[in-house]
A and B are shown apart, each in its own frame.
Chain A
Amino acid sequence: MAEVFFFLGAIGALAGAIGTVALRNPFYSVLALVVHLLSLAALFLLLRAEFVAAAQVIVYVGAVMVLYLFVVAYVGGGADPISTAGRPSLRWASALFAGALFIELSIAILGSGLSILGEEGTGWFEGFGTPSEIGRLLLTDFLLAFELASILLLVAAVGAVILARRRTGLEDQREISVGDLMRTGSRDQLTGGEAGTMIEAEGPPGR
């Protein structure tokens, strides 16, 4: 029975991956990646990694992919041609490189002579991969990695806000931001201020 589920998950993961690369519209690419991530979560469940599978579904499919969809809708990524006009040879070279990479990886994995290859693994025990075990490991053995990950998330959030900030002046002079509101305290002096990041959320005050 596990074989059936493995092949279902593997086919779903590979189809999602190929769809991500091959579909022309970025919106459909994101949806194909969602299929890929869900299939991968099924494979994680087969590998008794309950918490990783749940985190995959909630964090990736729930949060990161929605972020992608918002940006695709904002940028309006229409169908772009996969290959440029005069360079089909580069595309074939890329496909050839991918095939060569797969062959090399397969040789490196299957020819490595690891003793674990060819068996299912015997180390599974009761409670393997459950949230309590993962939480215990994160707060004891891997506390430094946990804290560093939180600092990295904070830095990335601040960096994303600074990168996506509008640097030039406002297009619509009536638009205000929360920062301007806090700086002056009055709405009369807000017309010439610098833009913040909450403009889209706020909108013009008369709306």
Chain B
Amino acid sequence: MSVEWYLVVSALVFSIGAGGILIRRNPLVILLCLELMLNAGNLALVAFARAHGNQDGHIFALIVMVVAACEVAVGLGLIVAIYRRRLPIDVDELRELQG
């Protein structure tokens, strides 16, 4: 399979993730859609690494995974903090930035 098939799949997954971030209102699902977009980037990186025979793309994908794990940890911590304050789990209603 040539590399552009993988790139088109990557673009599709990225677009689905971006649309999901705009459509959904639950912050948990928004985090999931962020994961979709990060994984689409990973797929493109690994596809280019395979095409060029250069393993630097693999390292890049692994570092992206680490950053995604950090983002998940902080994001889920925020959601748990919102839940503890009895606030609605809904990004449309969380509009005020007061502590």
When distances are taken between beta carbons in the complex, the residues of chain B under 8 Å from A128 are 53, 55
Tell me what chain A mostly uses at the interface: helix, strand, loop, or mixed: helix
A: interface residue count bin: 35 or more
Distance in angstroms between the alpha carbons of A3 and B36 in the assembled complex: 23
Tell me what chain B mostly uses at the interface: helix, strand, loop, or mixed: helix
Distance in angstroms between the alpha carbons of A116 and B65 in the assembled complex: 26
Contact between chains at B79 and A75 (CB < 8 Å): yes
Contact between chains at A119 and B2 (CB < 8 Å): yes
Q: Closest chain B residue to A166 by CB distance?
A: B84
Judge whether A8 is part of the interface by a CB distance below 8 angstroms: no
8 Å CB contacts to A: which residues of B41-62? 42-43, 46-56, 58-59, 61-62
Judge whether A26 is part of the interface by a CB distance below 8 angstroms: yes
Closest Cβ of chain B to A112, distance in Å, is 10
Could you count the A-B residue pairs with CB atoms below 8 Å apart for me: how many are there? Answer: 247
Distance in angstroms between the alpha carbons of A134 and B12 in the assembled complex: 28
- From A36-44, A174-182, A183-191, give the one contacting chain B: A36-44
Contact between chains at B46 and A49 (CB < 8 Å): yes
Contact between chains at A80 and B22 (CB < 8 Å): no
A77's contact among B8, B26, B81, by CB below 8 Å, is which? B26
Given contacts A36-B13, A156-B70, A156-B74, 16 further A-B contacts (CB under 8 A): A14-B12, A14-B13, A43-B6, A44-B46, A47-B47, A49-B50, A98-B15, A106-B8, A109-B4, A110-B4, A117-B4, A120-B3, A123-B51, A159-B77, A160-B74, A163-B80
5 contacts between A and B (CB under 8 A): A20-B29, A43-B43, A71-B80, A105-B14, A162-B77
Binding site for A on B (CB under 8 A): 1-9, 11-20, 22-26, 28-29, 31-33, 35-36, 39, 42-43, 46-56, 58-59, 61-63, 65-74, 76-81, 83-84, 89-90, 92
